[in-house]
A and B are shown apart, each in its own frame.
Chain A
């Protein structure tokens, strides 16, 4: 179903984009509007095939993203492509949308109780507006396709990360968005090759192109998904930040490179392969982290985790010679394999017992059987440790054996 949704979104966006751009060949502005409209219908088709169309009225963050934020942003980009408004008004409209985007997405949730984190919301709005306005302007001036391309990749990775963190629907919705964007971009690219420039750009070279509108659509989609994935799913702050940086990593070096005198460094900064590499690195990090998190958490629920992962999280009791510390410190083994071998554990991570901090050199005294350990802290209950296994300390390292 997912593959069908992605392919369907791609096909509908590409087909409608081709028809629309073909019909408005003599009207550059209309051609660029056509590819944006094609993207919209591609998204609708993909969500329909995924059986993930938003509910009306929108009650969840994902619904508000799909029904309010994305359509409003696309309407602004269509206005830009059609020359209905001047640059100042477009900037103002983008600013207004950026300002209300996060409150709209978080509406009615616990995040906005008591006014919500106003500073964080303002910072997100400024970041959103600056990247939307800045990147779109840069693409409009340079016809740079790299940003839109890596935004498609970032959408895919954001979706996979959100899904692997446990919100399947939220993650999967990203995939038809990416498919539709890729389809519309493919048409824009083909049309621009046929026209000898950017689709929608007139002979003077100053008219907004369809490429800029599609890039903006991708940026808005990415921002909205990452915000709802972070605030309502379990997407980590670090992953969210890395994903949002991806379009900037693709566009900023080129902008710097173009400002430099002609040199090897300038050419490197402008080269597509270099910028794609810069953008892909954080995406790989995000995917790797999401996969590791999935293996240690949800993978076990689904029976998909490798055997080694089953012993990664253990709750344990440390019995210290100091009576005041003989309580229930719990620790995590980290990501080391723990099959009858030794795993190093940061002792400083675990000692905070009854409000007292153990000294660095307090030696733990003896082992506890795992059977006594499991379930000591609610968040570790159900961890997979055999009842005959023993966990304890030896020379400052944790040992486990039969």
Chain B
């Protein structure tokens, strides 16, 4: 019975999950946030967040390079706790949300690092796509509230001038913006 060892190996592999496909998680909007901050007159920080974010990530723990991450942010949902400023940020001097309604990240390469994943991908904002590499800290899966959950956090520094933001508006508000992503994913 030469096939018996192979069959046995397959059964064993299934039992241990080694042949399991990557785990697909939906972005958990309730327990996640995408925030940002930028310098104001180089004396303080203006902070805000985006309230409408969606995404998916697929984690292949056996072969992390097959993992994928994607995030889509509705630029219109910018919220800095000041309605007038939010309206201003939606206009073409800043995010131009009618022309560029979404900010997106799509991973192109993933590798495991000791405390998470190093993810390289394309970040698209204001109609311009730039390659970025982020360090996602986290990735431990737990089961809570009837779902399997995983979470990551990262900070990403960007220059608005790299994304074709109006140079006339870079001055009072610093060119560099820090995007702070804390996201949780969930699956059944």
Contacts and interface: CB of A to CB of B under 8 A. Distances in A.
B87 to A, nearest CB: 6
Contacts of B114: none
Interface residues of B, number: 22
A301 B84 contact: yes
Interface stretch (A16-24, A104-112, A249-257, A283-291): A104-112
Given A59-B164, A109-B99, A168 B93 contact: yes
A380 B82 CA distance: 7
Interface of B: 79, 81-85, 87-88, 91-93, 96-99, 101, 127, 164, 166-169
Contacts of A60: 92, 96, 99, 127
A81 B93 CA distance: 37
B40 to A, nearest CB: 11
User: Which of B101, B168, B169 is the most central at the interface, judged by chain A CB atoms within 10 Å of its CB?
Assistant: B168
B91 A51 contact: no
Contacts of A111: 98
A146 B91 CA distance: 34
Contacts of B91: 165-167, 170, 232-234
Given A232-B98, A382-B84, 20 more contacts: A51-B167, A51-B168, A59-B164, A60-B92, A60-B96, A60-B127, A61-B99, A109-B99, A110-B97, A166-B88, A168-B169, A169-B92, A169-B169, A170-B91, A232-B96, A234-B91, A297-B87, A378-B83, A382-B82, A382-B83
User: Which of B92, B166, B167 is the most central at the interface, judged by chain A CB atoms within 10 Å of its CB?
Assistant: B92
B82 A298 contact: no
Decide if the interface of chain B is mainly helix, strand, loop or mixed. Answer: loop
Contacts of B79: 378
Interface residues of A, number: 30
- List 5 A-B pairs, minimum CB-CB distance, nearest first: A382-B82, A297-B84, A379-B83, A166-B88, A167-B91
Contacts of B81: 381-382
B167 A170 contact: no
B87 A166 contact: yes
Interface of A: 51-52, 55, 59-62, 108-111, 165-170, 231-234, 297-298, 300-301, 378-382
A298 B84 contact: yes
A225 B98 CA distance: 16
Given A168-B169, A381-B81, A298 B98 contact: no
Contacts of B85: 301, 382
Contacts of A110: 97-99, 101
A300 B92 CA distance: 20
Contacts of B99: 59-61, 108-110, 232
Given A301-B88, A378-B83, A380-B83, A52 B98 contact: no
B84 A300 contact: yes
A389 B81 CA distance: 21
A2 to B, nearest CB: 11
B173 to A, nearest CB: 11
Contact of B82 (A55, A167, A232, A381): A381
A297 B86 CA distance: 11
A62 B93 CA distance: 11
